[in-house]
Amino acid sequence: MADVKRAIENVEPWNDPQAQPYVRIENVTKMFGEFTAVDSVSLEIYKAEVFCLLGGSGCGKSTLLRVLAGFETPTSGRVLIDGVDMAGIAPYERPTNMMFQSYALFPHMTVENNVAFGLRQEGIAAAEISKRVGDMLDLVKLGPFAKRKPHQLSGGQRQRVALARSLIKQPKLMLLDEPLGALDKKLREETQFELINIQEELGVTFIVVTHDQEEAMTLSSRIGVMNAGEIVQTGTPNDIYEYPNSRFVADFIGSVNVFEGRIVEDQPDHVRIESQEAGCPLYIDHGVGVTSGSRVWVAVRPEKIEITRDKPAQQDNCAAAVVDEIAYMGNQSIYHVLLESGKKLRITRPNQSRTSSDSITWEDQVFVAWHPSSGVVLTA
Amino acid sequence: MNNRRSTFLVSAMAFGFAFLYIPILSLIVFSFNESKLVTVWAGFSTKWYGALLQNEQILGAAWLSVRIAFMNATVAVCLGTLAGFVLARMGRFRGRLLLTGMTTAPLVMPEVITGLSLLLLFVALESMIGWPQGRGVTTITIAHITFSMAYVAVIIQSRLSSVDESVEEAAQDLGARPAKVFFIITLPIISPALVSGWLLAFTMSLDDLVIASFVSGPGSSTLPMVVFSKVRLGVSPEINALATIIVLLVASGIVAAGLVMNQAEKRRQRDVQMAVAANE
Amino acid sequence: MSREGFVAMGERMMHGADPLARMLWRFPPYRWCVAVARRLGLTGRTAVIAIPYLWLLLFFLVPFAFVLKIALAEALIARPPYSSLIEWSEDTYLTIKLNIGNFLFLIEDDLYWKAYLNSGKIALISTLGCLLLGYPMAYAMARANPAWRNVLLMLVILPFWTSFLLRVYAWIGILKNNGLINNVLMGLGIIDQPIVMMQTDFAVYVGIVYTYLPFMILPLYANLERLDVTLLEAAADLGCRPTKVFFTITLPLSIPGIVAGCMLVFIPAVGEFVIPALLGGPDTLMIGRVLWDEFFANRDWPVASAVAIAVLLLLVVPIMLFQHFQSAEAEAGV
């Protein structure tokens, strides 16, 4: 799933100082009465990107999307699309199109008329409309269903009608609100690939809102993680997962073990951290640049921790533990181990063979260890 | 236990429906009574229907009432739909609370008060600006529109609140202006509610005695006013005949509408099931 | 199909409107008018709000001001039959004559007090009657087989669509001395003297319960049908007997429906005129009837207005309650 590679990923315009962003969100704030839904968000999004806004419910991601579509007026700040300030431009005049979470298909129109709706508003000739609608329906594999009404379609088909209806206008910016949220798990995985294929074929810029981290990881070129109306981190899926900038992000994307500690040595190429919780010296092979003695957190992903019966040779990043619980998941097993400090760690191991010879079991005395490059130091 | 409860419920329901329908059935049965003493059966006859068709006063009043009801229903649907739309879709605006009040209060306001207050308004308006000149069809229609638009507004508002607002937003997003969205998306979606609102407004106007009595003038007696003046003097078989005709017209209309809606709903459910089945 | 056609027609019309609007836009005076309207805050949105707003303001709210004004005037034998509050005496002085005599008259004459109290009593008892009869019906309908529900609902609504006046009239034939009930009872030999039912308070109760029953059933049914059956199952699963389930779960959850139904019956019943006029006796005093008689028989508009104001004061609290529940339901998206 993760090997859906896009040409765009190799180009990485956000790392290119020459590149001009296509969509510019500048200090956008949206208040509803006293409540701040979106809190001075600034983003730069490049052409043909798939940018995911990821966050829990009520984090302001949908409000930000509605600001882009023109359904909400920002309290302050501005939005530029292709260099044009969107202030005062009504939704029906914007070069954006939105795919709604509920799909919002017109219940009284056939699939064909739903898809043709946007073109009809532009006053395009009937012959051209029917040609373009036909092409688009073929692209989303709905040709045979053109004459059906929305209630005669399955969930997946409805989703594709909604997609086709927004795409046919060839928007400069396509906004997708939980595009796969209403589909069941299996269909969702298939549709993710279809969505990406169509996006690549048409080269449209996508902004996708989702609460599903897996969906965000697979779909996007970059992710913006939102919390309480603010963007807390922006980066590629890899950046976000491997180099989270805060405990919130580390915990929100996947699961993580966090040790609280104090810096004892901070060099440009490594840091040493003393941690009561870990019960061993922690060594990480990157610098942090904070004063000695300040409080930090070390995050280590569960799959990056080794679990062994024999004591490893290394002194750092290694501690004795007792196995507390094991959960067998089929493809992998999850171990919960207790350190001497009472801290509980979560470790995952792939089940490579059917039966493991050195099978570690409940109450076993074990050692946990990880590589200096596996941990990330967090200052917030 | 369960059995005893369901027996109680079924008998309560049976009693309730008997209570609702026996008076109507007795009206129908005695309209075919030979005798003028409405409640003493003296043989089958349709002569009262003949008498009814000869009665110029009743026929004239009925025609007037239908005309008023038609005008009223049409205007009330337009105004009531606007009011319902404003309440369901326009969010907050100054004076929203007052508008909510003015659309729900007429539903429960005693008719004598509405009638009296409108009459006093018309009299005052006439002395101030010379309109409306005297009272009659116009004033009755205005009075009826005022209370029936409140009913329409409530119907439309509740219908709209069950329609996903993002459908209308999607239409705007695809480039349709708000006015256009209203006419080609919102109205077609709520069209069943428009039809029932129109019918409700029509029957309410056709049925109103009290308000019409206050705001009508000489020569503009509506059907309920004529019926009331006759009924006050005692029972009359002609009125039974009239009631039978009205009941049959309404009942057949409602049953037909119910059947059509039921069919549509069944077809719709079959479609949905087929779509789900085809997907599996 | 027909709806699709309707849409297509609408769309074609709107397309015709677009070029027209563009042409109008080229015409400067139109542009100036639009600019002025925008400056004044008159957008399409404002216009849409203003139309129903102004109508209701003019024909629903403002009339009450006139009722108050005339309640404070003196009765005259003239056209219109009341005095003016504001007069120019000797062409120079503006005098305002407020006459609270009408209200004093209402307080002094115990006819009005009796009518007032009696209306409240009759409306209250009838409302209870509607509730006692309507609740089991609504409950049974909500628990009926779904295929039957729509039919039953239609049966409840059907009488409501036929003439109210004629349905009240039907009861005359049933309740009078030689009417249906007495004929049947005497025919069966249960009684030998007709029971006097017409022109009594009893007939009025029957008439009100009969006409307002659908208004009680519909909100109750809407509420009870929404009730999640798994709640009842959960209560039973936790060891609650059916009767107790009803009193601890169903009844408390249906309170909004009960309040809405009771208000829909009580408020109009207080001011009811037709039912006491047709079924009640000469001593069945109800405030709606008193108002009617003051207006049509005595032609005393000021006193009629004063009565109307008094009734309104009586009903302000229930109407506000009704509004409150109504808007709470609307907010809940029902």
- The count of structural domains within chain A is 2
Pick the closest to residue B115 from B207, B205, B216 (CA basis): B216
CA within 13 Å, CB half, A48? 15
Asked if A111 and A123 touch (Cβ cutoff 8 Å), the reply is no
- The number of beta carbons lying within 10 Å of the beta carbon of residue B61 is 19
Question: Are both A241 and A295 inside the same structural domain?
Answer: no
Average pLDDT over every residue of B140-167: 92
Regarding predicted confidence, which is higher, C109 or C93?
C109
Domains detected in chain B:
55-241 (1.10.3720.10)
Q: Is A279 left (phi over 0), alpha (psi -120 to 50) or beta?
A: left
**Amino acid identity, residue C313?**
L
Neighbours of chain B (3+ CB pairs under 8 A): A, C
Q: How far is B42 from chain C (nearest CA, A)?
A: 14
Indicate the residue of A90, A105, A154 with minimum beta-carbon distance to B276: A154
Neighbours of chain A (3+ CB pairs under 8 A): B, C
Question: Are both A138 and A275 inside the same structural domain?
Answer: no
- pTM as predicted: 0.85
Strands (E), chain C: 86-89, 93-96
Question: Are both A203 and A335 inside the same structural domain?
Answer: no
pLDDT in tens, A45-101: 999 899 999 999 889 999 999 999 999 999 999 999 999 999 989 999 999 999 999
Of A217, A248, A279, the last residue of a domain is: A248
Cβ <8 Å between B127 and C80? yes
Q: How far is A139 from chain B (nearest CA, A)?
A: 19
Q: Provide the pLDDT for residue A9.
A: 46
**C-alpha to C-alpha distance for B252 and B247, rounded to whole angstroms:** 8
Question: Are both A44 and A167 inside the same structural domain?
Answer: yes
Domains detected in chain C:
104-332 (1.10.3720.10)
User: Alpha helix (H) ranges present in chain A?
Assistant: 7-11, 61-69, 111-121, 126-139, 155-167, 185-202, 213-219, 237-242, 247-252
pLDDT in tens, A152-175: 898 889 999 999 999 999 999 999
Domain housing A280: 257-378
Of A248, A270, A290, the last residue of a domain is: A248
ipTM of the complex: 0.88
Asked whether the predicted pLDDT for residue C89 surpasses 60, the reply is no
Average pLDDT over every residue of B181-194: 91
Q: pLDDT confidence of A201, banded at 50, 70, 90?
A: confident
Regarding predicted confidence, which is higher, B39 or B225?
B225
**Amino acid identity, residue B128?**
M
Average pLDDT over every residue of A113-136: 92
pLDDT in tens, C220-275: 998 998 888 888 888 888 888 888 888 888 899 998 889 889 988 998 898 899 99
Q: Provide the pLDDT for residue C12.
A: 56
Q: What CATH number does the domain containing A115 carry?
A: 3.40.50.300
Question: Are both A23 and A127 inside the same structural domain?
Answer: yes
Cβ <8 Å between C174 and B23? yes
Question: Are both A183 and A103 inside the same structural domain?
Answer: yes
Question: Are both A234 and A293 inside the same structural domain?
Answer: no
pLDDT in tens, A204-247: 999 999 998 888 998 999 999 999 999 999 999 999 999 999 99
Question: Are both A226 and A365 inside the same structural domain?
Answer: no
Q: pLDDT confidence of C331, banded at 50, 70, 90?
A: low
DSSP state of A208: E
Asked if A162 and A104 touch (Cβ cutoff 8 Å), the reply is yes
Q: Are strands A271-274 and A257-266 parallel, antiparallel or unpaired?
A: antiparallel
Q: What CATH number does the domain containing A301 carry?
A: 2.40.50.140
Mean pLDDT across chain C, nearest whole number? Answer: 81
Residue C194 CA to chain centroid, in angstroms?
Answer: 35
Q: Provide the pLDDT for residue C221.
A: 93
Q: pLDDT confidence of A7, banded at 50, 70, 90?
A: very low
Q: Provide the pLDDT for residue C41.
A: 62
Asked whether the predicted pLDDT for residue C86 surpasses 50, the reply is yes
Which residues 6+ apart lie within 8 Å of A56 measured at CB?
A: A211, A227, A252
Which residues 6+ apart lie within 8 Å of B255 measured at CB?
A: C154
Asked whether the predicted pLDDT for residue A4 surpasses 60, the reply is no
pLDDT in tens, B236-258: 788 889 989 988 888 888 888 87
Asked whether the predicted pLDDT for residue C99 surpasses 90, the reply is no
Instruction: Give the A window 68-107 contacts with B, CB below 8 Å.
Output: 69-71, 90-94, 96-98, 100-102, 104-107
pLDDT in tens, A347-372: 998 888 777 656 788 888 899 999 98
DSSP state of B163: S
Q: Are strands A173-177 and A205-210 parallel, antiparallel or unpaired?
A: parallel
Of A183, A217, A248, the last residue of a domain is: A248
Question: Are both A239 and A364 inside the same structural domain?
Answer: no
- C304 and chain B in contact, CB less than 8 A: yes
Q: pLDDT confidence of A2, banded at 50, 70, 90?
A: very low
Regarding predicted confidence, which is higher, C76 or B261?
B261
Per-residue tokens: B228: 């009331």
Question: Are both A201 and A265 inside the same structural domain?
Answer: no
Question: Are both A200 and A218 inside the same structural domain?
Answer: yes
Query: Which residues in chain C have their CB less than 8 angstroms from residue B21's CB?
Result: 155, 159
Q: pLDDT confidence of A379, banded at 50, 70, 90?
A: confident
Q: What is the dihedral of CA A226, A227, A229, A230, to 10 degrees?
A: -60
Asked whether the predicted pLDDT for residue B226 surpasses 80, the reply is yes
Indicate the residue of C7, C15, C18 with minimum beta-carbon distance to A109: C7
Per-residue tokens: C260: 């809405």
Cβ <8 Å between B86 and C52? yes
Q: Provide the pLDDT for residue B76.
A: 96
Q: pLDDT confidence of A8, banded at 50, 70, 90?
A: very low
Indicate the residue of C10, C133, C165 with minimum beta-carbon distance to B227: C165
Q: How far is A163 from chain C (nearest CA, A)?
A: 22
Question: Are both A234 and A275 inside the same structural domain?
Answer: no
